[in-house]
């Protein structure tokens, strides 16, 4: 993976002098993108080439790392954040729980896949291969959606946290096609990039992103508690509309093979041990107390309207719990933040 700088500058030769340089919006977006990639990478030591960075290969570990980054953003622990402003990045708290849920699904697939690997019966080879196919589809779809949503949404938040004064003027300049060549090459080398980037319009702004961050800006300028709470939920729903309608729907939910898999899951989720369509407000995959989870009982996850109804229910319960059980919720978010 490239570690080249995204830009170089000419400095003065005279000691203690100043040389003014202009960093473009495109370069700043690229810096944020580098940060998002780096968070999902580990440093490796090679005897010949020296140090390099490699993308985390295990999808479940990657989802946990993403959940941790979301949690740290909510807690205002990421670079550029301000702990005094905790609560402005409201969607990030809910996203930490959501990516944790994706990790649970991916970990389940990993365990189930290993069972088939260990099942060494030559007479059942065809049956085993048939059974492994849906697991591969689930892994690929969940992994792709989780990874590219992070590449999109993390950078919007990073830019706002680090360059809030430039966010409004630079928002229209985010486009992976206009990134400096070094970071563009790195981005294009990432998993699923060839199909993902066109599907999600090269990470360009949407009306939902524009509205969501406008509401974040407004809530930072008011001291009225009720107004802040309304703006938190409104910004969360706008960003949820963006992630679901503009990123995940075209990226994974429009895929017929994934639709069929989700239909199968819906039928089988009553079987003990099978992942359910739920959101658990915990660091665990599921929780007994119904107050801390929302389950989907009707509709199809791949159908945008059904999924948004489910997500609205999750958001409303999250919003309620962030009033009634704030200490508990932030404790769970803090636990997830340690998964980096």
pLDDT tens-digit series, residues 264-288:
999 988 888 788 999 999 999 999 9
Cα–Cα distances in Å, from 70 out to 3, 75, 151, 329? 24, 9, 12, 14
Mean pLDDT of the chain: 91
Average pLDDT over residues 5-11: 49
SS3 of residue 50 by DSSP: strand
How many Cβ atoms from other residues are within 10 Å of residue 175's Cβ?
Answer: 14
Confidence of residue 129 (pLDDT cuts 50, 70, 90): low
- Regarding pTM above 0.85, the answer is yes
Say whether pLDDT at 124 is over 50: no
For residue 4, being part of any structural domain is answered with no
For residue 132, being part of any structural domain is answered with yes
CA distance 132 to 124: 12
pLDDT at 3: 44
For residue 89, being part of any structural domain is answered with yes
For residue 18, being part of any structural domain is answered with no
The domain in which residue 134 lies consists of 25-337
Domain count, the chain: 1
For residue 9, being part of any structural domain is answered with no
What tokens does 92 get?
């990030």
For residue 234, being part of any structural domain is answered with yes
Q: Which residues pair with 51 in a beta bridge?
A: 45
pLDDT at 317: 98
Tell me how long the chain is.
340
CA distance 303 to 260: 12
List all residues 6 or more positions away from 253 whose beta carbon is below 8 Å from its beta carbon: 259, 301, 302, 304, 307
State the Cα angle at 312 between 330 and 216, rounded to 5°: 60
Average pLDDT over residues 195-207: 98
For residue 14, being part of any structural domain is answered with no
Least confident interval from 106-110, 123-127, 175-179: 123-127
CA distance 46 to 52: 7
pLDDT at 39: 97
For residue 8, being part of any structural domain is answered with no
Question: What stretch of H or E contains 174?
Answer: none
Say whether pLDDT at 238 is over 80: yes
Exposure on the CB side of residue 171, measured as CA atoms within 13 A:
19
The larger pLDDT score, comparing residue 122 to residue 241, is at: 241
pLDDT at 22: 76
How many Cβ atoms from other residues are within 10 Å of residue 71's Cβ?
Answer: 29
pLDDT at 13: 65
């Amino acid at each position: 993976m490239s570690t080249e700088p995204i830009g170089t500058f000419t400095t003065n030769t005279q000691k203690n002098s100043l040389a003014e340089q202009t960093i473009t919006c495109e370069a700043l977006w690229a810096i944020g993108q580098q940060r998002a990639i780096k968070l999902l990478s580990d440093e490796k030591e090679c005897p010949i080439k020296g140090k390099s960075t490699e993308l985390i290969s295990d999808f479940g570990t990657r989802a946990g790392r993403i959940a941790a980054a979301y949690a740290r953003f909510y807690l205002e622990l990421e670079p550029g954040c301000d702990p005094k402003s905790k609560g402005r990045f409201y969607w990030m708290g809910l996203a930490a729980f959501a990516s944790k849920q994706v990790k649970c699904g991916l970990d389940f697939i990993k365990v189930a896949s290993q069972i088939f690997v260990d099942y060494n019966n030559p007479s059942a080879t065809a049956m085993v291969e048939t059974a492994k196919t849906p697991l591969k589809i689930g892994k690929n779809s969940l992994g792709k959606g989780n990874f590219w949503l992070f590449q999109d949404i993390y950078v919007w938040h990073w830019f706002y946290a680090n360059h809030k004064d430039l966010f409004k003027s630079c928002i229209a300049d985010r486009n992976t096609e206009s990134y400096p060549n070094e970071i563009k090459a790195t981005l294009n080398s990432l998993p699923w990039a060839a199909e993902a980037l066109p599907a999600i319009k090269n990470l360009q702004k949407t009306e939902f992103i524009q509205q969501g961050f406008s509401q974040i800006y407004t809530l930072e300028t008011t001291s009225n508690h009720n107004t802040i709470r309304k703006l938190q939920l409104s910004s969360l729903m706008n960003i949820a509309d963006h992630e679901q309608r503009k990123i995940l729907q075209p990226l994974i939910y429009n895929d017929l093979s994934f639709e069929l898999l989700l239909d199968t899951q819906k039928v089988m989720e009553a079987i003990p041990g099978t992942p359910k369509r739920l959101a658990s407000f915990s660091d665990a995959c599921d929780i007994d107390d119904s107050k801390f989870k929302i389950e989907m009982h009707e509709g199809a996850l791949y159908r945008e309207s059904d999924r948004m109804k489910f997500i609205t229910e999750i958001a409303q319960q999250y919003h309620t719990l962030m009033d009634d059980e704030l200490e508990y919720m932030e404790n769970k978010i803090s636990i997830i933040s340690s998964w980096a």
